Copies of this chain bind each other. A is one copy, B any other.
């Protein structure tokens, strides 16, 4: 007999099938008994009027791994409209320990810390699991779009000889009697590889030794990076990014529909073009609408971003907003200045519902500009020699962006803490599981 997945049961009405999975729930009511079996894809119901049929489960706890055979019968009241009857149960891996918290209720009733401590089992809860199926869907859609747009995937090293952008907030590694560091981003490598492939992307871990202890930061996360050459300026990047975000939202709405429904997620509104506002105008708008004068400050505070997000929603009908032209003072040395006013940069942030989702922009591409920028930043040339070699030997105008995967899931799903969107989060207090 064929072993099928729970989500395939509906295709087998009138046939005897075999399922394998975890004992999600048993409701033994005496006269009528229900068993819910969860596999890696969904949950199926079995029903029996014969209490003896449950005998193999005597003394076993939920999450026991079982095989269950039965006849598929249409049953409008069952989840998915079908259930197994005339069942035969076999226990594959008996479980006797009780879970630290039940995972067969609609909502997980435990503190976030408890859930994270026991992530190995908490992740089995359908709603937790749906978040990471959504993560996988976002990664797949990201790659699909960029592959079609002529990008080549790279895997750059995570062990590096010096900090990517500055000496701060970098983890040090004992490396054969020397010091190495964990890459804070693939920035330099993706730029170098523009010289090879013209268009590149990478999805991989990045490491930030930031001592922050907030709901929006962890110390290791997954960065979805892209970089490409022969751009006009940062608006070439926002154009490509807009099409990419549209593709991701379309694909997850198609392929993760059940997960989005389970999570009660309403995908954000993305107009034909995402509105954009210059940093200077954003500060002016904040002054006019909220009476707060932040002009002259080199960055936006989280509250400013929230106000801008509200404005984009109300005035532009968009959950997304590009803020462009951030001051050079707050952007890394490789950022391309605005040729018309070099105190501002050809950079942008993409806000989703008033929170930063993506950072990107145009980079410098001439060796002489790098040498000058590093001198201005009082940084030595030597640690950057390998990177500058690419610039010395011909780089086109180029730019790119980085999307935090967990941040994307958090904002799509309206989660309160980035850790909920992180498989096994790492922070100052947490290095396991």
Contacts and interface: CB of A to CB of B under 8 A. Distances in A.
A395 B95 CA distance: 9
Contacts of A3: 230
B207 A205 contact: no
Interface string A51-77: 000000000000111000000000000
Contact of A159 (B23, B147, B219): B219
Contact of A405 (B64, B155, B197): B155
Nearest to A97: B392
A156 interface: yes
Nearest to A180: B431
Nearest to A218: B157
A378 interface: no
Contact of A199 (B40, B118, B121, B426): B40
A425 to B, nearest CB: 8
B394 A65 contact: yes
Contact of A392 (B92, B95, B180, B205): B95
A265 to B, nearest CB: 18
Contacts of A41: 150, 198
B40 A161 contact: no
Nearest to A219: B159
B431 A154 contact: no
A338 interface: no
Q: What is the total number of copies of this protein in its complex?
A: 2
A153 B139 contact: yes
B432 A161 contact: yes
Contact of A40 (B97, B135, B173, B196): B196
Given A63-B393, A161-B431, A205 B155 contact: yes
A196 B123 contact: yes
A313 interface: no
Contacts of A124: 195-196
Contact of A389 (B397, B425, B433): B433
A158 to B, nearest CB: 5
Contacts of A220: 157-159
Given A171-B175, A196-B129, A366-B93, A433 B156 contact: no
Interface in A105-132: 118-121, 123-124, 129, 132
A153 B173 contact: no
A426 B159 CA distance: 8
Given A20-B230, A93-B365, 4 more contacts: A40-B197, A121-B390, A135-B155, A160-B431
29 contacts: A20-B230, A20-B396, A22-B195, A63-B393, A93-B366, A93-B395, A93-B397, A120-B386, A121-B390, A124-B195, A132-B196, A133-B197, A136-B153, A136-B154, A139-B155, A140-B143, A140-B147, A143-B143, A154-B423, A155-B405, A157-B220, A157-B425, A158-B207, A159-B431, A171-B173, A173-B174, A173-B182, A176-B211, A205-B205
